Amino acid sequence: MNADWVPASVGLTYRLGEITLFNWRSRGFAYIRHFTQCSGGEPAAPENQQATMGDGPFLFRSHPVAEALPKLSMDGRWIRYVPRQYKRFYVNLSGDFETYLNHFSSKSKSTLLRKVRKLAEASGGKIDWREYRSPEELLEFHRLARELSSRTYQERLLDSGLPGADAFKQRMLDQASRSLVRAYLLFINDKPAAYVYCPLESGILLYEYVGFDPAHQQLSPGTVLQYLILKQLFDEGGYRIFDFTEGEGQQKAFFATHHAQCADIYLYRRTPWNLLAVRAHLGIDGLSRRLGDALDRIGLKAAVKRLVRKVA
């Protein structure tokens, strides 16, 4: 098998807004090259390796594209589905932290530093945050972050909180034994208020799991922790990129120095069942987007989103 491909659970999550309805998954293969190592264009299924890889499905996650692709198209025996296209944000970690701060506008920089000072004042003058690297440290991080993650909307609504499964813990400990994980917790009143978990690959830190305690939202703990992490990475040196991974977001765009246009591209064998499942995902996604646009036009989108997260 080509080293660029790994066996994976390939599937789609059917969501209405931030509410997960159900998942559809099957065993397939995922392309694992980092987006900075891929050329733009439209990737194809590895037809020359059918004997070892079978009929897929195949997933190209966050593949760089030169232009927008159609959401649904047919390519010979394949259904090509592109549910998400987005800017993938990242921070170039070369240089020093002061130079990095200067890429912000004076207003943005002032706002960021004010948030840092506000949280420090609420914490008795000093921000309590910690980095975790060793297997022993990561076990402590996982215990504390799992407790926090269970209270976040990322886990309750999006099913994207820090995993508690033994398989994840084993992978975490294996990576930690090879110094391939950086994890961070910020505390308020001695209790975890925000966490970030980052695998490390070839000098690239991946923003894999993140969450904050909604009870402290007014203190912006996630923003402050991100500021502290980037300062330490610049000061420590030896890293290439802090990669905010798939999807867009206000905080990602705020902290990033660069971005690339990327897409999640699924290739399914052209069968009636696969086409029905893909069309259903496309339809639910379109309905969700139209509902969001309608709420936005009447000025209720943000309020409804806050209500849903509060109820969750």
Kindly report, residue by residue over 80-118, the tens digit of the pLDDT. Answer: 999 999 999 999 999 999 999 999 999 999 999 999 999
297 — pLDDT class (breaks 50, 70, 90) = confident
* pLDDT (average), residues 48-61: 75
Query: DSSP letters along 151-212, please?
Result: TSHHHHTTS-S----HHHHHHHHHHHHTT-EEEEEEEETTEEEEEEEEEEETTEEE--EEEE
Share of the chain above pLDDT 70, in %: 89
State CA 60 to chain mean position distance. 15
Burial of 82: CB neighbours in 10 Å, binned 0-12, 13-18, 19+: buried
For residue 10, the surrounding DSSP H or E stretch is: strand 5-16
* pLDDT (average), residues 212-225: 93
253-295 tens-digit pLDDT: 999 999 999 999 999 999 999 999 999 999 999 999 888 877 6
Looking at residue 312, what is its pLDDT? Answer: 52
* pLDDT (average), residues 171-189: 96
- Residue 160 confidence (pLDDT) above 90: no
Using a cut of 0.85, tell me whether the model's pTM lies above it: no
Looking at residue 153, what is its pLDDT? Answer: 56
Residue 57 tokens read as 């499905």
**Residue ranges per structural domain of the chain:** 5-88+260-311, 94-239
Q: Is the peptide bond before 214 cis (omega within 30 degrees of 0)?
A: no
39 — pLDDT class (breaks 50, 70, 90) = confident
- Residue 50 confidence (pLDDT) above 70: no
For residue 122, the SS3 value is: helix
Share of the chain above pLDDT 90, in %: 68
d(CA 281, CA 86) in angstroms, rounded, equals 18
156 — pLDDT class (breaks 50, 70, 90) = low
Q: If you compute the radius of gyration of the chain from its CA atoms, what whole number of angstroms results?
A: 21
CATH numeric code, 94-239: 3.40.630.30
d(CA 214, CA 205) in angstroms, rounded, equals 25
- Residue 51 confidence (pLDDT) above 60: no
Most confident of 19-33, 34-48, 103-117, 298-312: 103-117
Residue 260 or 39, more confident: 260
149 — pLDDT class (breaks 50, 70, 90) = confident
Q: Where are the alpha helices (DSSP H) in 38-80?
A: 50-53
- Residue 48 confidence (pLDDT) above 80: no
Looking at residue 310, what is its pLDDT? Answer: 59
Average pLDDT of the chain?
A: 89
- Residue 18 confidence (pLDDT) above 90: no
CB 171 within 8 A of CB 212: no
d(CA 26, CA 20) in angstroms, rounded, equals 18
The position carrying tokens 């397939």 is 28
Burial of 88: CB neighbours in 10 Å, binned 0-12, 13-18, 19+: buried
